[in-house]
Amino acid sequence: MAEQEAKIEKIHKTEAEWRELLTPGQFHVMREKGTDRPFTGPLLDNHEEGVYQCAACNAPLFTSDKKFESGSGWPSFWLPVSAEAIEAHEDNSHGMHRIEVTCARCGAHLGHLFPDGPRPTGMRYCINSTSLDFSKK
């Protein structure tokens, strides 16, 4: 089963197809690497049990038991559902050195990864609410 999880089928769409599928706000964040304003996302204060999925392709990304209050203004997680669910890329935009996090299935921009999270990983996946859908358990 681990081998099957490692083989994520990629989704490829044109810019026009993504524009048709996503809202203007989702397109800006997920395809143009925009960012939600802090403390405005509807999933920031969500404390229900369930799975956070990519808003573009529905791939499972994070679970509620790995979510924590970081005080950053964005939903934060200390571990994705699997290492294969997300991809990390160097991001040197805006004069900063950061690690961008994208959906491994469709390439949507999710947010950034920082090394200031809680144990056991010490990582903080700082994710835009706009990039996520939530399914209750």
How many angstroms separate the CA atoms of 79 and 32, rounded? 24
For 44, which DSSP code?
Answer: T
Specify if 6 maps to a domain. no
Least confident window among 89-93, 122-126, 132-136: 89-93
57 annotated as belonging to a binding site for a ligand: yes
Q: Whole-model pTM?
A: 0.91
How many angstroms separate the CA atoms of 51 and 3, rounded? 22
pLDDT tens-digit series, residues 7-37: 788 999 999 999 999 999 999 999 999 999 9
Specify if 64 maps to a domain. yes
How many residues belong to the chain? Answer: 137
Specify if 71 maps to a domain. yes
Q: What is the CATH number of the domain that holds 48?
A: 2.170.150.20
103 annotated as belonging to a binding site for a ligand: yes
pLDDT tens-digit series, residues 72-102: 999 999 999 999 999 999 888 777 788 999 9
Specify if 46 maps to a domain. yes
Active site residues: 126
The total of structural domains in the chain comes to 1
* Token pair in block for residue 6: 């490692």
